[in-house]
Amino acid sequence: MAAIKKDTRFLLTSFRDGDAQKTNDYEYFEWEIKNNGWYVFNIDNYKVKIYTASLALIFISKELQARNMDNKQGTTVNGMDYLNTYLEAYKEGEQYFENEIKVSQNTLYGENAEPYVQGLHSNFFHIQHRSPSEGWVFVKRSYPFILTHKTVGEFGYYSGIVSKVEEQVKKHPQLFATFYKCEQNTPPQQAETKSDKLKADLGKYGFFELELVKPLSEPNKQNLIELISSNNLPYSIAMFDFLGFLKHIETEHFKTKTKLNKEVAKWFNSDKDGRAVKGNISSLSDYSAENKTKYTAHTHKETAIKDYRKLK
């Protein structure tokens, strides 16, 4: 897939809060996709398939409520600006299928037919092509929760592949009769992502049993982890403090603050001696003499609280 320049990340707050999913447009797209398998957008006289109501809604929305992840400011985003990125990547995905995946009729009905179908099935459902999802089919199960041209391009690229695969499956129903049945004995190939690793680390120290975390729904617990892992260390420290996690691990798990600082630093690949963690924790106190220009967790207090309340 062609490289896409680094671009601003926008957290789609209206989707996170559930407001977007309550609109008539969302319900319409959801019904269409449920009944047809996809929704077709005609972009510059080229038809592309959209596999989730959320992504379809993004592309027709001129004023998406969002938060700029770089400056932490609330803003609006024109989702239509991302349509061309999706289109170009979608075409690349289709071309990749034609050049690298599609085989001749002789191969399809020859002695290598079964390995070909099995390999296609594994790529479609199991092999991880894009973190943190499994298989090309992730485009039917998720959407860009944090919006960037890079992410939209990935969705477009793999949607193009998925479209071509399903066209082939439909064209040869007997050959692909068991394509959608997952009967593999081997577990799916997985790679631990940043958020997966953080989730595992926090779980060891009772994070999900905290009074403010335990009542959250499973999707919102995951959203909380995504917020922490996708933001910087000062924000994460502020969120930990609000949730009572810093007090919890200090009381229940670490005999000294030095050990606490070093362990938390590991979770975020921060400095080994934990100085940045220590500085940011100290900055949260009104009476601290810490350098609050360098260590800025105190400036993220209100944002962390607001973000948490939107998850309830």
Q: What is the pLDDT of residue 133?
A: 62
Q: What is the pLDDT of residue 197?
A: 86
Residues in a beta bridge with 66:
75
- 112-115, Cβ contacts within 8 angstroms, sequence gap of 24 or more: 113/175
Q: What is the distance of C-alpha 60 from the center of its chain?
A: 21
Strands across the sheet containing 64-68: 74-77, 64-68, 10-11, 146-147
Q: What is the pLDDT of residue 189?
A: 42
Each residue's pLDDT tens digit, 145-204: 889 999 999 999 999 999 999 999 999 999 999 898 875 434 444 445 678 888 888 988
Q: Are 18 and 312 in contact (CB under 8 A)?
A: no
Each residue's pLDDT tens digit, 10-64: 988 888 777 888 899 999 999 999 999 999 999 989 999 999 999 999 999 999 9
Cα(274)–Cα(267) distance, integer angstroms: 11
